[in-house]
Amino acid sequence: MGKNKGDDFKLPEDYFANFNARLQERIKAEGEDETLSFLPKSDGFKAPDGYFDQLTEQLKQRLAPRETKVINLRTYRKVAYSVAAVAAIFILVFVLKAPSETPIEFSDLANAEIASYFEDTQWDVTTAQLAEIIPVEEVELADLVETDLESENILEYLDENIEDIDEIDLNFETYEE
């Protein structure tokens, strides 16, 4: 490396003295953590005073097993015997007289109940896992949709939902019967 005597070129004063500081500044400015001048420094959210202090306790209370009230049964024993005796007679009468009811079946469930169960339940099943369960090869499109799809409907759908429909290799005529 040749030694530069500094005869030919001039440098601003303190150029090398503050070079590191300027370089650091530039790196910071171009780095990941740049601030965007058009945005507010804070997004304005705040938490109520003391909120975080009571949170831990509140959570522990929610997770603590609930104590159940203990009732001394001995004092109620005499009453309990007579109530049980009367109840037994009633049950006997009903069992003997009542016609046997048919067990509840799947078809007895209201559609709304089934729908809300599916809506409210979190399914830990990925699409891939679902695909493994359902034999896709054996399923025809007609099994999934109630009405027959016209090829026109399909094309209309593609036109509305795909940006470059021209790029799809569509042979429209083959879909027409």
- 36 vs 168, which CB is nearer to another protein? 36
Short-list 159, 152, 153, CA closest to 173: 152
DSSP state of 145: -
d(CA 26, CA 41): 21
| Torsion on CA atoms 21, 22, 23, 29, rounded to nearest 10 | 110
Which residues make Cβ contacts (< 8 Å) with residue 80, sequence separation at least 6? 73
- 49 vs 177, which CB is nearer to another protein? 49
Least distance from another protein to the Cβ atom of residue 149, Å: 25
Least distance from another protein to the Cβ atom of residue 59, Å: 5
- Over the window 99 to 118, marking each residue x when it contacts another protein by CB under 8 A and - when it does not, the resulting string is --------------------
Position 44 contacts another protein (CB under 8 A): yes
d(CA 112, CA 119): 10
Position 39 contacts another protein (CB under 8 A): yes
Among 46, 66, 74, 97, binds another protein (CB under 8 A): 46
- 31 vs 103, which CB is nearer to another protein? 31
